[in-house]
Chains A and B, each alone.
Chain A
Amino acid sequence: MRALILLAFLLFSGVSLAADGEAILQERCASCHTLSGSAAQTVKELWERKAPDLFYAGSKYQGEWLERWLQTPTRIRPAGFHYFQNIKPGPKRDVVDKSKLQTHVVLTASEANKVRQVLMTMKEAQGLIIEGDFKGGSISMSFGEMVFDKFNGCMGCHQIEPGFGGDSGPEMYTAATRLKPDYMVSFIRNPQAWNPKTAMPNKHTAEPNIQKLVQYMIALSKESWDEN
């Protein structure tokens, strides 16, 4: 009998947690994030999106990071979500217009946990994630940087350490803390399959180099950065 009561309690708690998380998502997140549907199909549609799509959050994000970040959000894209909406001409080059940058809502530990539970159930349904797609292995920082920068030119848009690299894309030194390895492999392989209008070009990177890039992301994430 006690076991039945306990089971009922646990089931109820789980349902309640999900319901709470869903309610928080709708109330606090849905005005900026797309929670269901599909990625933007046109540039104009892309411009209307205010934040990353979350309908495949469970395939993309590391749950632990998500829960932590929602309580202490930091800027991942130096120039905001759409860089071109937040820049102005500067004396030497275009610069970020900080007055245009938005801050992210902050959740309590309890809210962040509930939201995480729901987000982790939201998976992409197109078969883009192949479990075990990232084959593991490691790479030296110097060779990794060579593959990232010299061979593929990724540093043009992404920072590999705070303040070093491009400002328009998401920082890469925290990528593996934030993102699942199989997602990174899939996204690098075909960014447009995830988001047809993403600013990330498909470089048709050879499979072994995709693995090396993800190994490099993981190596970068093990360095000690102030942000995380």
Chain B
Amino acid sequence: MKTNVLMLLMILVIPSAWASSAEDNYKTYCWQCHGMQGDGMGLNVRDMSVQPRDHTSKKSMAGRTDEDLFNVIKHGGLAIDKSVLMPPWADTFTDDEIHELVSYLLRLCQCR
């Protein structure tokens, strides 16, 4: 019984304790290319052959479904026939964190 309770606690509590907010994840991993303001003008863009997407532009983000956004964060640009410069973050974020990042992007572009 004790073991079951412990297991349940581990499943419920640990992932939420380790998970980071979308804002914190965006700052840590996405700013470098997509920019502090999310406008695609990040620190790394100078020598890039393909410019990062402007997350603040409704127009630029309009063609992306939620599923596209989830897939491109999780599996990288190539997963939606876009640039290899967008890396896959599957080993960095949990699926829940990626879903939260998708919601964060939709707020940034005021798409919803």
Q: Footprint of B on A, CB under 8 Å?
A: 41-44, 46-47, 79, 83-84, 87-89, 92-96, 150-153, 155-157, 164-168, 190-192, 197-199, 201-204
Contacts and interface: CB of A to CB of B under 8 A. Distances in A.
B42 A203 contact: no
Given A153-B83, A203-B76, A87 B46 contact: no
A210 to B, nearest CB: 15
For chain B, which range describes its interface: under 10, 10 to 19, 20 to 34, or 35 or more residues?
Answer: 20 to 34
Interface stretch (B29-37, B54-62, B63-71): B29-37
Contacts of A46: 28
Given A156-B48, A191-B91, 17 more contacts: A41-B18, A43-B20, A43-B25, A43-B28, A44-B24, A79-B43, A84-B31, A94-B31, A94-B36, A94-B43, A168-B43, A197-B28, A201-B92, A202-B88, A202-B92, A203-B87, A203-B88
Among A165, A168, A192, max chain B CB count under 10 A is at A168
Contacts of B45: 93
Contact of A197 (B36, B37, B43, B92): B92
B32 A153 contact: no
